[in-house]
Structure 1
Amino acid sequence: MPNATSISAPVIRHGFLWKVSLIAGLGGILYGYDMGIIAAALIYVRSTFALSTQMEEVVVSVVLIGSLVGAVAGGAASDRFGRRAILLWGGAVFAVGSLLAPLSPDVWTLIFARVLLGLAIGFTSVTAPVYVSEMSPPHMRGRLIALYQFALTLGIALADLAGYELAGSHAWRTMFGLGAAPAVLFLVLVLTVPESPRWLVAHGRRKDALSVLSAVSDVAGAQALLQEIERSLSVAVERRWSALFTPTVRRSLLIAVGFTVLQQVTGVNTIIYYGPRIFSLAGVSSDKAAIWATFLVAAVNVLATVIALVLVDRIGRKPLLYIGVGGMTLSLVVLSFAFHSKAMAGPMLGVVAMSCLMVYIACFACSMGPIAWILVAEVFPLRLRGRGAAAATLGSGASNFLVSLTFLSLIQAAGNSATFAIYAGFCVLTLLFVRFVIPETKGIELESISASGSSATA
Structure 2
Amino acid sequence: MTETNVPHWNVDRSFVLRVSVIAALSGLLYGYDMGIIAAALLYVRNTFDLSAGMEEAVVSVVLLGAMLGALLGGTVADRIGRKKTLVQAALIFVCGSVLAPLSPNVGVLIVARAVLGLAIGFTSVTAPVYVSELAPPQSRGGLIGLYQLALTLGIAIANLVGYFLSGQKAWRLMFGIGAAPAILFLMLVLSVPESARWLASKQRFEEAAAVIRSYAAEPAATWLLQEIRQSVAAKLDQRWASLWSPGIRKPLAIAVSFTVLQQITGINTIIYYGPQIFAMAGFGSDQSDILATFVVAAVNVLATLIALALVDRIGRKPLLYGGVSGMMVSLVAISLAFHSASGRLLGTVAIVSLIAYILCFAASLGPIAWILVSEVFPQRVRGRGVAAATLGSGLANAAVSLTFLSLIHAVGSPATFALFALFCLVTLVFVRFGVPETMGRELESISFAPTADAPAYDQLEPSH
Normalised to the residue count of structure 2, the TM-score between the two structures is 0.96
What corresponds to 1:366 in structure 2? Answer: 363
Partner of 1:83: 82
Equivalent residue number for residue 454 of structure 1: 457
Which SS does the other structure have where 2:168 is aligned? Answer: coil
Q: Which residue matches 1:279?
A: 278
Contact 1:335-1:352 at 8 Å conserved across structures:
yes
Which residue is equivalent to 2:210? 211
1:23 aligns with 2:22: yes
**Aligned letter for 1:421?**
A
Q: Which whole-Å CA distance do the structure 2 matches of 1:367 and 1:121 have between them?
A: 22
Q: Give the corresponding residue for 1:393.
A: 390
CA displacement at 1:28 relative to structure 2: 0.4
Shift of residue 7, structure 1, vs aligned partner: 2.8
Residue 258 (structure 1) aligned with residue 257 (structure 2) = yes
State how far apart, in whole Å, the 2-side matches of 1:89 and 1:237 are.
Answer: 21
Letter in 2 for 1:413: A
Contact map agreement 1:237 1:243 (CA 8 A) in 2: no
The code of the aligned residue for 2:310 comes to: L
CA contact (8 A) 1:157 1:299 kept: yes
Other-structure match for 1:179: 178
Q: Which amino acid aligns with 1:439?
A: P
2:104 corresponding residue in structure 1: 105
Q: Hey, what's the Cα distance between the residues in 1 that align with 2:447 and 2:40?
A: 43
1:54-93 superposed matches below 5 A: 54-93=53-92
SS in 2 for 1:28: helix
Root mean square deviation of aligned Cα: 1.2
CA distance in 2, matches of 1:42, 1:18: 36
Correspondence list, 1:48-447, <5 A? 48-234=47-233, 238-341=237-340, 344-447=341-444
For 2:36 and 2:7, locate their aligned partners in 1 and report how far apart those are by CA, in whole Å. Answer: 42
Contact kept, 8 Å, 1:39 with 1:160, in 2: the verdict is yes
Structure 2 alignment gaps of length 5 or more: 450-455
Structure 2 CA distance for aligned equivalents of residues 383 and 6 of structure 1: 23
Residue 453 of structure 2 corresponds to none
* Cα distance in 1, alignment partners of residues 247 and 164 from structure 2: 52
In 2: Cα distance, 1:137 partner to 1:220 partner: 14
Instruction: Note the alpha carbon deviations across 1:260-309, whole angstroms, 9 max, x for none.
Output: 00000000000000000000010112010000000000000000000111
2:32 is matched with: 33
Q: Would you say the 8 A contact 2:9–2:136 is kept in 1? A: no
**2:96 counterpart letter in structure 1:** G
Contact 1:6-1:138 within 8 A present in 2 as well: no
Contact 2:234 2:380 survives alignment (8 Å):
no
CA deviations on 1:152-171 (whole Å, 9 max, x unpaired) are 00000000000000000000
Conserved? CA contact 1:378–1:450, under 8 Å:
no
Post-superposition shift, 1:220?
A: 2.5
Partner of 1:218, secondary structure, is: coil
3-state SS of the aligned residue for 2:457? coil
Gaps (5+ residues) in structure 1?
A: none
Q: Give deviations 1:77-134, integer Å, cap 9, x for gaps.
A: 1011100011001100000000000000000000000000000000000000000000
Deviation at 1:348, TM superposition (A): 1.1
Counterparts of 1:379 and 1:412 in 2: how far apart (Å)?
Answer: 40
> For the structure 1 residues 202 and 236, does the alpha-carbon distance in structure 2 shift closer, same or farther, using more than 3 Å as the test?
closer
Q: Which residue of 1 aligns with 2:46?
A: 47
The whole-number CA distance in structure 1 between the counterparts of 2:222 and 2:145 is 27
Q: Render the CA deviation track for 1:207-231: whole Å, top value 9, x for unaligned.
A: 0000000012114321111001111
Give me the whole-angstrom Cα distance separating, in 1, the residues matched to 2:183 and 2:298.
25
Q: Secondary structure of the equivalent of 1:440?
A: coil
Alpha-carbon shift at residue 238 of structure 1 (Å):
3.0
Provide the aligned length of Structure 1 versus Structure 2.
455
Q: How far apart, in 1, do the equivalents of 2:62 and 2:7 lie?
A: 41
The 8 Å contact of residues 318 and 440 in structure 1, kept in 2 or not, is answered as: yes
CA spacing shift, 1:293–1:148, aligned 2, 3 Å: same
Counterpart residue identity of residue 454, structure 1: Y
Q: What CA deviation, in whole Å up to 9, does each residue of 1:141-193 have, x standing for no partner?
A: 00000000000000000000000000000000000000000000000100000
Cα 1:261/1:192, change in 2 over 3 Å: same
1:11 and 1:286 map into 2 onto residues whose CA distance is 54
One-letter code aligned to 1:243: S
- How far off is 1:9 after superposition? 4.3
Shift of 1:234: 3.0
